Amino acid sequence: MTNPLLDEWQSEFALPPFSQISDDDFAPAFEAAMAAGRAAHATIAANPEAPDFANTIEAMEQADALLDRVAGVFFNLAGSDSSPAREELQRTLSPKLSAYSSEIINNRALFDRIEALWSDREALGLTDEQSRVLMLYRRMFVRAGAALHGTEAARLTDVKSRLASLGTQFTQNLLADERDWMMPLEDLAGLPDFVISTARAAAQDRGREGYVVTLNRSLIVPFLQFSTRRDLREKAYAAWVARGANGGDTDNRAIAAEILALRAERATLLGHENFARYKLETEMAGSPEAVRALLMQVWEPARAKAGADAAKLEALLHADGHQGPLEPWDWRFYAEKLRKSEHDLDETALKPYLALENMIAAAFDCAGRLFGLEFRPLDVPLYHPDARAWDVTREGRHMAVFIGDYFARTSKRSGAWCSTMRSQRKLGGEVRPIVVNICNFAKGDPALLSYDDARTLFHEFGHALHQILSDVTYGFISGTSVARDFVELPSQLYEHWLEVPDVLSQHARHVETGAPMPQDLLDRLLAAQNFDQGFATVEYIASALVDLEFHDGPPPSDPMQKQAEVLDALGMPRAIRMRHATPHFAHVFAGDGYSSGYYSYMWSEVMDADAFEAFREAGDAFDPATASRLETYILSAGGRDEAEALYTAFRGRMPGVDALLRGRGLAA
């Protein structure tokens, strides 16, 4: 019997044959794919011909084609539709894939061929893109330990294998805590209809009658906003912030400590002072000092704004007859009251105008007006009934398949993200991407979003556009294969189009009547854009600075104590907690992606605030010339040049922090 993961996919657009794939297919498919990759790399390394770009770099680009195909399916499913079988397979695969990667990196003959090309690069007649890819390949090998020998090389292999296993364990522990906790609700006081219906759906999803609160953000945040039961808010909030720190088999605190120690050892083996300096060497920021300088420029005005807001909220708390200080489980509740008082803006009145279907249409419409993209629904088998697919075209040319998977479920890890099942490339023939957006919105009939949810949808679709519009030869630099502190630019920039009055007036229509959002409500919504930005900025920067301090120096033996010390030194407001406390800080501990890099959202925001100014200066949020430059120098370019060079080509200069402070309402 053939394995559908290993066969050529004959479906339209070569989509994975989800209906034919079973969990039992993955393990043998990975084994076959790694065997094929080993054989391909061995052939390259043993090639008797002198190394050239085609027989070395281009051959390596294609050596893992089968592994990329299998992994593209599996890891998307592991995050969005997990099961015990998939979790077990992921635990088994993590060290195997790490060992496979180390085999390639430690293949001395392979590295020697790359070094020979690098030494002779001026005489090779390479294109600019090829020169960039050669440099990145060599840098990848060196930073992964290819220049190490003997016991140091063996130790680095062990360290990376253990880190891969720990990252998987951290993620699965967090998913287990989020999946297993719920609080039955008998008192629905203060909860609007949309929260009640979400709580009912959450109970049904868990096979229960009545209503429950879960730790899914799309449910617990509105519960904290609206429930008048302060005791229940405290109980739910305590469970939310305790994820990964509940003792027992799913506790992540010791895992975090081991991860930090192993990262520090990895950096030392590679000749770096600490992990932050190793990690930031290839980012736009370049150093911990540059990151710290940016964050602290924003921290002080943000903390001042949060302090002023806290005084207002505490006054409302006392007016309700509660004594004592404002607590973290009070902030969202009284902030919602204050927003209604200051801006006459009530989320229950807003949500009927933010139906999921309308916001998807808005995101697609903006992409059409900016970049000429069109979206046609596809009726194809996918991995879950909630997932939907569209054929993305431009002037009749197929650009991508876009899959949207928008609803929360117990099998999906929390958060929102963009990934690919296949990336764009031209080497070996034109390959167009399969791009996936994952969100965790509350399911409803119809599904209604908060304004924050709608921003999330636009954010992830901005990442998707970075993949859809990618136009490079080599998959190694395709789409979002850019510096970590540059990758958030397209996503955060795209959020700005949700604020364009023309977009809201066209797409923010009442879910029952179809009437456009009343002008006065639209005006109040836009006027309240920066409401509670002190809180949002403080909780974010606190997380980013804790991440940085974890890695910029000796690894802490007790990360929780180190976290407390960093927050105390910052003067963290008592009623605000880190957005992601250490035991559930998946950005930092589920893998290396955002380790020493959580600051990157703000680094990118400096650019996205300035980039949208380019459209304002042109007098049109859909100015064709500005959109064309954005596509040419940012969205289609992938990693074909350094991030600073790409941004400067688009804007003519690098920005300062002023536009960010204005955008967040924190400017003096």
Which position among 460, 488, 549, 631 bears the catalytic label? 460
Helix (H) or strand (E) holding 26: helix 26-45
Segment 329-375, tens digit of pLDDT? 999 999 999 999 999 988 888 999 999 999 999 999 999 999 999 99
Distance CA 473, CA 464 (A): 19
Looking at residue 17, its pLDDT comes to: 95
Segment 61-84, tens digit of pLDDT? 999 999 999 999 999 999 999 999
Segment 153-202, tens digit of pLDDT? 999 999 999 999 999 999 999 999 999 999 999 999 999 999 999 999 99
Do 425 and 475 meet the contact criterion of CB atoms below 8 Å apart? yes
Distance CA 608, CA 612 (A): 6
Looking at residue 1, its pLDDT comes to: 65
Do 70 and 30 meet the contact criterion of CB atoms below 8 Å apart? yes
Looking at residue 13, its pLDDT comes to: 96
Segment 105-124, tens digit of pLDDT? 999 999 999 999 999 999 99
Looking at residue 413, its pLDDT comes to: 87
Looking at residue 444, its pLDDT comes to: 85
Do 615 and 621 meet the contact criterion of CB atoms below 8 Å apart? yes
User: How high does pLDDT run on average in the chain?
Assistant: 96
Size of the chain, expressed as the number of residues it contains: 668
Looking at residue 668, its pLDDT comes to: 67
Helix (H) or strand (E) holding 436: strand 434-441
Residues 242-268, mean pLDDT to the nearest whole number: 97
608: left (phi over 0), alpha (psi -120 to 50) or beta: alpha
Q: Please report, for residues 21, 220, 290, the alpha-carbon distance to residue 611 in angstroms, rounded to integers and kept in the order given.
A: 43, 34, 21
Segment 408-443, tens digit of pLDDT? 998 998 889 999 999 999 999 999 999 999 999 998
Question: Quick check: 91 pLDDT over 90?
Answer: yes
Q: Mind listing the domains of the chain with CATH numbers? A: 12-105+107-144 (1.20.1050.40), 181-241 (no CATH), 250-345+533-598 (1.10.1370.10), 352-523+601-663 (1.10.1370.40)
Looking at residue 378, its pLDDT comes to: 98
Fill in the DSSP letter of residue 580: S
Looking at residue 412, its pLDDT comes to: 92
Choose among 667, 620, 25: nearest CA to 300: 667
Residues 575-592, mean pLDDT to the nearest whole number: 96
Looking at residue 631, its pLDDT comes to: 98
460: annotated active-site residue: yes
Looking at residue 350, its pLDDT comes to: 93
Q: What percent of the chain has pLDDT over 70?
A: 100
Q: How confident is the model at residue 591 (pLDDT cuts 50, 70, 90)?
A: very high
Segment 467-522, tens digit of pLDDT? 999 999 999 999 999 999 999 999 999 999 999 999 999 999 999 999 999 999 99
CB atoms within 10 A of CB 195: 26
Question: Quick check: 89 pLDDT over 90?
Answer: yes
Question: Quick check: 210 pLDDT over 80?
Answer: yes
Handedness of CA 152, 157, 158, 164 (dihedral sign): positive
